[in-house]
Amino acid sequence: MTEATAKAAAQAGAAESGRGLLSVPGADVWLAAAVHDLQDPLKTAHTYLKGIEDRFMEMLPLVARKNVTAALQAIQQSQELVAQTLACASAEDIDPHPIPLADVMQEVQAALATRIEGGAATLEVRSLPTIHADPGGVRRVLQNLVGNSARHAGGPVQVTLSASRERSGWWVVVADDGPGIPEEKRADLWHVDGLRTDAGGVGLALCHRIVEAHGGRIECDCPEGGGTVMRVFWPDKPGRRSAAGRRKAD
């Protein structure tokens, strides 16, 4: 069995175990508490390893340096998974008010600076409107979508963010020229055990929950020539399904 096959098998097993656990009455409360309590041990492990990296890295043999780097990356991914899981649990608690998307994108670009400035992605942000939505929810959605484009491209990728007005809301589009998403994976994109990501596979499920809480809609399209287009409809009146959202849902 190859490493890739073993990893896929492990992920499938974990997803099946997760579905079984979630069928137990009260499991959602227990899981939320367990995920919350993971924050402190992960923070402690990260602090100790970061201290080794900052003070003793040059003294270590090459293999040990690689192990420290890999461990730090794994902990950071686990911390992001914990943060996204907790956010997913509270995704329906929104506090909408007018927010300029350009301001939100400044925060997103700062959070993804390593990937963007490191050449993994070139980001073009076109004219963006002010929408009526929950600021934290919008930031998480855009950060996930833009981050996924950079993460899954397999090489340098051009990411374009744009917006267009339609009836009672705004469509915000994140498009890239990467390899696209295989057709067999698209139906499960919005499920926690769907498309796996470095963050643990909950990113798009979180996006879906946040957008639905606003009464909006999120769609994925992969043109034949390659690339991925993620379209998010943010209604003017969050919590009410708009005419555009109904039309797209039909």
Per-residue model confidence (pLDDT) at position 27: 52
Residue 202's CB: how many other CB atoms inside 10 A? 24
What are the start-end ranges of the H helices in 23-61?
27-37, 39-56
Residues 119 and 68 in one domain: no
Residues 115 and 191 in one domain: yes
What does the alpha-carbon distance between residue 15 and residue 78 come to, in Å, rounded to a whole number?
16
Q: How many domains does the chain have?
A: 2
Residues 172 and 237 in one domain: yes
Per-residue pLDDT of the chain (250 residues; tens, 9 = 90+): 444 444 444 444 444 444 454 454 555 556 666 776 787 888 899 999 999 999 999 999 999 999 999 899 888 878 777 776 666 666 567 889 999 999 999 988 888 877 666 667 788 999 999 999 988 889 989 988 998 888 776 678 899 999 999 989 999 999 999 888 877 777 777 766 543 444 335 678 888 888 988 999 999 998 887 889 999 999 998 864 443 444 343 3
DSSP 224: T
Write out the residue range of the structural domain in which residue 49 sits. 3-89
CA terminus-to-terminus distance, the chain: 44
Last-in-domain residue among 67, 89, 111: 89
Tell which residue, 102, 101, 162, 108, has the closest CA to residue 134: 101
Three-class SS of residue 175? strand
Tell which residue, 119, 78, 121, 136, has the closest CA to residue 228: 121
> Which CATH number does the domain housing residue 170 bear?
3.30.565.10
Residues 16 and 57 in one domain: yes
